[in-house]
Structure formats: structure tokens, C-alpha cells
Structure 1
Amino acid sequence: MQMRRARRKFDDEPENHERWLISYADFITLLFAFFVVMYALSLVNEGRYRVFSDAIGEAFGLRRGAAPIVLEAPQAIPLPNPLVKKRAEALHREREHMTRLANDLLSTLAPLVKEGKVRVTQNSRGVSVEINASVLFDPGDAKLTAESDQALRAVAVLLKDDPHAVQVEGHTDNQPIRNPTFPSNWELSAVRASAVVRLFIDSGVAAGRLTVVGHGANVPVAPNATAEGRARNRRVAVTILSALPDTVTELPTTPPKP
């Protein structure tokens, strides 16, 4: 009787239906370890990774040498910065405006440009009009001649309604000057630049936009060893200032055709 009761108790124990979870967990662990090894090999040595990948492919019946499928994450498309775009558009409009101004100055001063007495350049500072002193003044003097008055007033007409600041720079050669009016080339260059500024103001250009600089003989554009070089260095430069990041570009000496 005791043996029969024990056997019946054993036969009545319920069957465990969740034993498959143990095998499934082992499979997931092995699969995780497999991908960890694959990842480690791909980082350490690409050649070893390819060898290992081919071996796995042969084990699972894949054709050797088949091109692997590479999934690449799509590259993020940078969104345009509204401030950068606005800045670029403003610089583009500014550059176009300065170019139109330079062309207008070339047309206005065309006769003097052809004679080589005036040069118009557009550079990182803005648009510069370099006028030879022989057009503006008598030797050793800072009073504007009648010939220069008409040319400078034509330039003033273009500058009158333009919003940019204007810097007028006087330059001389290295020949010393000493008289009661001009003790040195410093005074001569500064007073000559001031004479041009005074004419601009009288022609309607706002005084607050104008600046006078006297360089004396410190910024030559040609050697002072020759008469031609000294004549080139005696000049007044009128620069319409701009913040454009352009490289120096000398405009053609022939004015554009209308």
C-alpha cells in the first residue's frame, strides 16, 4: 500500500511547460555574444573581420565573396542659419552697390582716367579714387585749381546721397618742403586733403561722413628716385569705405559703354 501511494503521488505531479525559456535564453545569450565578437573584430582589424564573416557565411550556406550589405545612416542635412543667410545677402547687395559706384566714378572721371591722372580701384576697404596732385594743386600749394573744381564736384554729386563714410588721404613725395605755410610734408598733405573735404562739404556731402588723413611721404606707390615716381606719389586718395571682404581689383581704365 505504501509503494502504491508513492507512485501515484509521483504520477500526479504537474508538467512544467516553461522549460523552453531556458533554451531560448541560452540562444539569445549566444547570439548576443556573436554580435559582440563581430563588432569587436570590425573595430580591431577589417581584414580579420572579413575572414571571420566569410567563414560564418560558408557555415550558413552563403556564397563566398558575396558583397556584404552595408547600411549607412542618412547624413543629416544642415538647416540654413537665418542670420548667416541674411548676412550673406546683405554683403552681396553691398558688393553690387560698391561696384556700381566704382563704375559711375569711372564714367564721371573718364577723361582724367584715360590720361593716367586718376585711378579707380575696388578693394577690401571699398572704392578708392586716386587723383594725381598735378590735377588738383600747383606745386607746393594746397589751393584747388579751377581744373580740379569741376572734377571734384562731379565726384561730390555721386557721394552726396551715398550712405558710406568717406576718407580723404593726402600724400606727397619725399622732397622736403619748408616755408611759412607748410613747415613739412605732413602739413602739406593734411591741408591738401582738407581742401578736398571742404569742397565736398560745400557740395552737399555730410561733414559727419568725412575724415581727413595726412600721410606725408610715408605711403609711396612708386620709387622716389625718379621724377616720374615722385609725381606719382604726390596724390590725394578719396576712399568710400566698405567692410566687404574682397581682394584688390583694379578696374579697367576705360569707362563702360552706356
Structure 2
Amino acid sequence: MARKPYDDSPSEHHERWLISYADFITLLFAFFVVMYAISIVNEGKYKVLSDALGDAFGGRGAATQVNSQVEPVLPLSHLVNRKRNEAARRERERMAVLARDLSATLLPLVKSGQVRVTQNARGVGVEINASVLFDQGQAALHSDAREVLQSVAGLLKDDTHRIEVEGHTDNLPIGSRQYPSNWELSAARASSVVRLFIDSGVAEPRLSAIGFAATRPVAPNTDPAGQTRNRRVAVMILAAP
């Protein structure tokens, strides 16, 4: 019986792709490890990882070359804080410009000490002595006061910041029929200024009127000078949060 001839041709290997696939997965894993490592700025850990990968994939020289070409990726929280700080800086600059414009518009009253323009963390404040705006014990605006407030409104009507108008009094009781206490008087004075701002083109939703009576003095109420200082209207332009 004839022997079957020996076939020494190489057999087909249908799973050779597994070798290439495994190499690809290994390289992909190494790539993501490197991306994760450079996303966290830590020079000590970064150097250790870089040296280890260099030894595994061709020596330290290759790892050093890759390290010099890849810039570290900053964490997301750092980018968010940087944008927030930049927005806060721009807002402070806008408020500083507004404070300068208001001071220039009210310069004669600022020089006489009847108006004070200040800037703080809340925003820009315009403090106006009540004698500039009202008769004693009244909440109706003088005609001259209307011109002053209209010039302020002209600067604010095209702005977008919220505005709080505060009425303040001294500690002397009023007890009139129209205003039974300083609470009613301070609130009425703040409302008079708000109404004028609205009539001058300031958007109504931006405005609020607050009466504080004598609860927030800026000077002692022990003498006429201090009482005059405490009778005031404060216009507060609030900085964006």
C-alpha cells in the first residue's frame, strides 16, 4: 500500500491578527497612561513615569525627547478658576470706570462734601446728603435735586447692574401725620429717587428702594454735624456676582 506523501508546507495560522491586536492594545494603554500622567502637574511623579516608560519603550533618550515635545495639560479646575478670576478683574475695571464717570458728573457736589462716590467689594456707592435732595422732614425732591439725579440716571440707564437706593435718617423722631416715624420717611425718600430714575430711562427691574431709618449711621448722632451726615440717600450700583 502506497504511503501518503509528507506535506512539509507551512500550515495556515488564522489567529496571527491576535499578535498585532495585542501590540496595539499595549501601545494604546501606554498612550493613555502618559496622557493621564501629564494632566497632573507634578514634576517628581512625571519624571519617574517618564523614565519608566523610556526604559520600557526604547531607553531614556526616547522618553526624554517625547517629554520635551508634550506640554503638560492643566487640570480643569485650574482653567475654571482662571476664567473666574479674569471675569472678576474685568468687572472691577468696569466698576472703576463707572465710579470715575460718576465723580466727574457730580464734581461740584463732591468738592463741597455733599456727595461721596466710593467703590468696594459690593460695587459703586453714591452717597448724597439729604439736604441736597429734600426739605427737612419731606420726601419730595427739589427741582435742583432732580437735575442732579437725572445726570446720574443718564450714566446708569444704559448699564446692566442692579441698583439699590437706600434712605437713611438721623435718630431724631419725626412723628408727623404724613410720616409717623423715620421708617416711613426713609422709605419714601428712597422711593422718590427710584421713581425719578425710572422716569429718566433706568429699567425698572434693576431698581429697588430700601428704608433704613436711623439704624445705619455713618457718624455719631450726638451733635448736629453728625446728624446732618446721617441724613442721606445712598445709591448703590451692585457689582455682578
Q: Normalized against structure 2, the TM-score is what?
A: 0.69
Equivalences for residues 126-145 of structure 1 within 5 A = 126-145=123-142
C-alpha distance in structure 1 between counterparts of 2:239 and 2:90, whole Å: 12
Structure 2 letter corresponding to 1:123? N
Equivalences for residues 102-113 of structure 1 within 5 A = 102-113=99-110
Structure 1 letter corresponding to 2:80? L
Which residue of the other structure, out of 205, 218, 221, is the alignment partner of 1:221? 218
Q: Normalized against structure 1, the TM-score is what?
A: 0.64
Q: Is the aligned partner of 1:101 residue 2:102?
A: no
Structure 2 letter corresponding to 1:158? L
Tell me which moved more, 89-98 or 188-197.
Answer: 89-98
C-alpha distance in structure 2 between counterparts of 1:202 and 1:74, whole Å: 65
Q: Is the aligned partner of 1:186 residue 2:183?
A: yes
Deviation, 1:236, is: 0.2
Cα contact 1:124–1:243 (8 A) shared by 2: no
Q: Is the aligned partner of 1:79 residue 2:49?
A: no
SS at match of 1:205: coil
Partner of 1:236: 233
Deviation, 1:179, is: 1.2
1:78–1:109: structure 2 CA closer, same or farther, 3 Å change rule? same
The answer for unaligned runs of 5 or more in structure 1 is: 1-71, 245-258
C-alpha distance in structure 2 between counterparts of 1:195 and 1:73, whole Å: 65
Partner of 2:86: 89
SS at match of 2:44: coil
SS at match of 1:212: strand
Q: Count residues in correspondence.
A: 173
Deviation, 1:85, is: 1.8
Structure 2 letter corresponding to 1:168? V
Partner of 1:30: none
C-alpha distance in structure 2 between counterparts of 1:74 and 1:148, whole Å: 68
C-alpha distance in structure 1 between counterparts of 2:149 and 2:240, whole Å: 24
Partner of 1:118: 115
Structure 1 letter corresponding to 2:118? T
C-alpha distance in structure 1 between counterparts of 2:162 and 2:91, whole Å: 14
Partner of 2:203: 206
Question: What do residues 90-110 of structure 1 show as CA deviations (whole Å, max 9, x unaligned)?
Answer: 111111000000000000000
Cα contact 2:182–2:213 (8 A) shared by 1: yes
Q: What is the identity percentage for the equivalent residue pairs of Structure 1 and Structure 2?
A: 61
Structure 1 letter corresponding to 2:212? H
Cα contact 2:157–2:201 (8 A) shared by 1: yes
Deviation, 1:170, is: 0.2
Cα contact 2:161–2:240 (8 A) shared by 1: no
Deviation, 1:201, is: 0.1
Structure 1 letter corresponding to 2:83? K
Structure 1 letter corresponding to 2:183? W
Structure 1 runs of 4+ with >2 Å offset: 72-78
Deviation, 1:180, is: 1.2
Deviation, 1:78, is: 7.5
1:178–1:85: structure 2 CA closer, same or farther, 3 Å change rule? same
C-alpha distance in structure 1 between counterparts of 2:120 and 2:73, whole Å: 32
- When the two chains are superposed, the root-mean-square deviation of aligned CA atoms in Å is 1.7
C-alpha distance in structure 2 between counterparts of 1:243 and 1:226, whole Å: 38
User: Which structure is richer in relative contact order (CA contacts within 8 A, separation 6 or more)?
Assistant: 1
Structure ID, larger Rg = 1
The answer for unaligned runs of 5 or more in structure 2 is: 1-42, 48-71
Partner of 2:150: 153
